[in-house]
Structure 1
Amino acid sequence: MTVGTPRLHQQNVELFARLNQELKSIQGQVGSGKVDLKLSGNLHDISKLNAAEEKKSEVTQFMQNAKRASKDIEFLDVALDRLQNLTVTFQTMAVESANDMLGQKEKDLLILEAQVLKKEIFDLANQNDSSGNSLFGGMSGNKNPFIMNTDGSVSYEGSALRREVKVSPSLSVQQNFSGLEIFNNISDGEGKTSIFKLIDDFVLSLEKGANKGHSSNLFSDSGTVDLVFPSSGSETDFEFVLTTRDSTSKINTTIYDNDFSPLVSEINDLTSSTGISASIVDGNRVRLQGSAVELNLSNFSTSNFDPEKSFVSVIKDVSSSVVAEKITESRIESDLIIEKIQDAFEQFSTARAQVA
């Protein structure tokens, strides 16, 4: 509803001028003595004068509201433009991080750049307009609707509703956005995540040195491979996809007290179509065997995410415990992070289009 603000402002200006002319005419006649307004004989003219004064006051307020809304929209446009540019920078960083040849020095530099990026977006999220009201706090009176917690996470304490102002008797226009719809509305599979959490996941993928969420060919050395899953604790849901040249199978099971027999059973139920069988070696170490030339594991996720432990270790030499590679939890997979950054850019672009 912001596009019509200049037009409404012009209409209010014209109405104000017309009312002002009528008031001057009546007041001029009274002042010159041509007309003597007495309550007993001129009740209609007196009522008309009072109504015109009230209407003039109302239109004046609408004009002031329209001017203020226009200024607020200008602030929003600048902020959203900056957010778009920062998101492009973030996308460039994420693409660069997906390079398997990236050294530790380059990773450390990207981590530093990501932390600076997060701080700049955080400052933009708490930016105020010329009147001191937050651009992304909604109807709340909080000047700083976003809070940086001691662990580095960001919380929103503003309103879920936008702030609006009346610019005519029947129309209101928005003055700001709710921070939830701008910064906390990025698609995350089944739910939503925030741009701040997305940056944290990006940093985490670099710190752990494992931003790859899909395996190499698990059968590259032989038709046998061991997978070491994270400890389940009392209860954990595990999900991943096994892919051969001829089949794709989604495994989704709940593990209790580190007993991985349900996962093994689910894989074995599909042996006729996949050619892959499973068995428990010890605890959370599961052995896969088969005649397939190629086997890949991807889209791994766990309900008890722990950045220190949520990965699958791949042991190709099953006579040893040497880890050949680690498959990260899907939320810190580089390809998925890049997809989420694209969604964030679209969110910012859509919001800016509303105020353009």
Structure 2
Amino acid sequence: MTVSTKMFADQMLNRFSQLNEEIQLRQTQVSTGKEITQASDKPIEAVKLSAMEERVTQLSGFQRNVATAQERLTMADTTLENVDNIMTQMRERVIAANNDTFSEPDLDAIRVEVSELRDALVGLANTRTPDGQALFGGYNTDLQPFREGPDGHVNYLGDGGQHTLAASESMRLPTSVNGGEVFMQISTDAGSQSLFDIVDSFIAALSTAATHEDTLVATEREGMFLRINADRTPRDLSFVLSGPEGSASITVPDVVDGSHSGVADAINARTFETGITGSVNEGRLKLTSTTGEISLSDLAVEGVDLAAKEPAFTITTGGDPVVTMVPKAQTLSAQLSKIVDAGQDIAISRTTVGARLQRAEVQEEVLASRSVTLESQVNEMSAADLEKVITELQSLLMTQNAARQAYSQIGQTTLFDYLK
């Protein structure tokens, strides 16, 4: 079979092209350090490698989310620590305020201080992350979750959700605690109450402590003249009545402003225990006893669980000066238990944050371990054997050079050279 000069040239050019492609492939492998430089090199291995690289990218996303969760939880822990410190100061102030030796100016000084601490609490509840998201607003991270209304009452504008981030294929990690649960649902003996309402109650009690009493006492035989001041909403009323015969806890249902007859009837029903009788005289409630000794204390009113700056329910005497009795909830002594309850709930919320932070740290270690293993597998599949590749490259370059020299010599030979 004869081979024409043109066919020989075409074959050599094709071979040179193949050598160039092989050399370029090895050079790319050396420069990148990767075995597979494009999917066409090894299609099956390339598909597997692509899937593994996607998993690496996904793991990186999980790791960023865990880092963000840790940052938010750490900020929440620091914020709640500051709230806890403020509640400790509140507890110290309410204990101090219950000292009988404190004068009205002393109580005013405490009230001013507590008012400043209250404003600090509102600011802490509205804490934002470095990227401007509300820390305690639930899913509503863009708005200010705690806002004071025209009446001075602090309202929660967030929702009941828990802000979370994906920490794995099957785990979402909470990044804080819900502000509605932390600040608006303090567990007390009177039920769930707002932290801010509890603090406002303390401030109100400080405002009225010097001018209102929690006990009314009469020692004269002419008795005690009282007026019940309330709104038109029927409420159950209870108090402890003490007289020459002893004491009795008396409950009167559906009391409204000026409803003295019902109270008198309830008192007369227990006269055998107290030695006190009640009657209505000129629109007032009159209490009398055989010896003149009468004591009215522990006033409790249905629905009145917190102190108010202007108490809606009071009992006033008809003497001079007028003495005003307020429900137990209005007294300074009633504030201590609520302040303590609030501090305990904040401590529990901080414990919850700590547990979630620990969970995030554990997940961080799990993801780091998975990432190391996966990256090792990716490197094992994608990394080129540089010693082998360089050896092959050198061999190809030598082959290319030899082929060029041979082709050059053969290409210069003509028919006349064979006829000599």
Return closer, same or farther for 1:223/1:347 CA change in 2, 3 Å cut-off.
farther
Q: Give the TM-score of the pair, scaled to structure 1.
A: 0.78
Query: Please, which runs of 5 or more residues in structure 1 have no aligned partner?
Result: 1-26
2:349 paired with 1:346: no
- Pair 1:36-2:44 in alignment: no
CA shift for structure 1 position 169: 2.0
Residues 78 and 309 (structure 1), Cα distance of their counterparts in 2 relative to 1, 3 Å cut? same
CA offsets, 1:297-341, max 9 Å, x none? 1133255878255222245xxxx4543x43223332212211100
Mapped to 1, the partners of 2:257 and 2:324 lie a distance apart of 23
The answer to whether the Cα contact below 8 Å between 1:277 and 1:290 also exists between their aligned partners in 2 is: no
Structure of larger gyration radius: 2
| 1:313 alignment partner AA | T
Q: Counterpart of 2:237 in 1: which secondary structure?
A: strand
CA distance, structure 2, for counterparts of residue 354 and residue 211 of structure 1: 42
Equivalent position to 1:355, from 343, 353, 356: 353
Q: Shift in Å at residue 86 of structure 1?
A: 0.3
In the superposition, relative to structure 1, how do residues 239 and 36 fare at CA in structure 2: closer, same or farther (>3 Å)?
A: same
Q: 1:173 to 1:220 in 2, by over 3 A?
A: farther
Q: Deviations over 1:73-105 (max 9, x none)?
A: 110111111011100111122122222332232
Q: Is 1:226 aligned with 2:225?
A: yes
Please state how far the C-alpha of 1:294 moved relative to its aligned partner. Answer: 6.5
What code does the residue aligned with 2:240 have?
L
Identity across matched positions, percent: 21
Single out whichever of 90-99 and 277-286 deviates more from structure 2: 277-286
- Confirm or deny: 8 A CA contact 1:228 1:284 kept in the other structure: yes
What is the CA-CA distance between 1:344 and the residue it aligns to?
0.6
Partners of 1:286 and 1:50 lie apart in 2 by 92
Which residue in 1 is equivalent to 2:400? none
Letter matched to residue 337 of structure 1:
Q
Aligned-residue Cα RMSD (Å) equals 2.9
- Partner residue of 1:237? 235
Structure 1: which amino acid aligns with 2:334?
Answer: L
Matches of 1:295 and 1:257 in 2, distance apart?
22
| Number of aligned residue pairs | 317
Match of 1:12 in 2: none
SS at match of 2:36: helix
Q: Aligned residue for 2:262?
A: 262
Report deviation, 1:174.
1.4
The residue aligned with 1:312 is 315
Q: In 1, are the aligned partners of 2:138 and 2:161 still within 8 Å (CA)? A: yes
**Structure 2 portions without partners, runs of 5+:** 1-32, 355-420
For the residue of structure 2 that corresponds to 1:249, the secondary structure is strand
TM-score, normalised by the number of residues in structure 2: 0.67
Contact 1:268 1:277 in 2 (8 A): yes
Structure 2 CA distance for partners of 1:269 and 1:256, relative to 1, 3 Å: same
Deviation at 1:30, TM superposition (A): 1.8
Mean alpha-carbon deviation: is it higher for 92-101 or for 151-160? 92-101
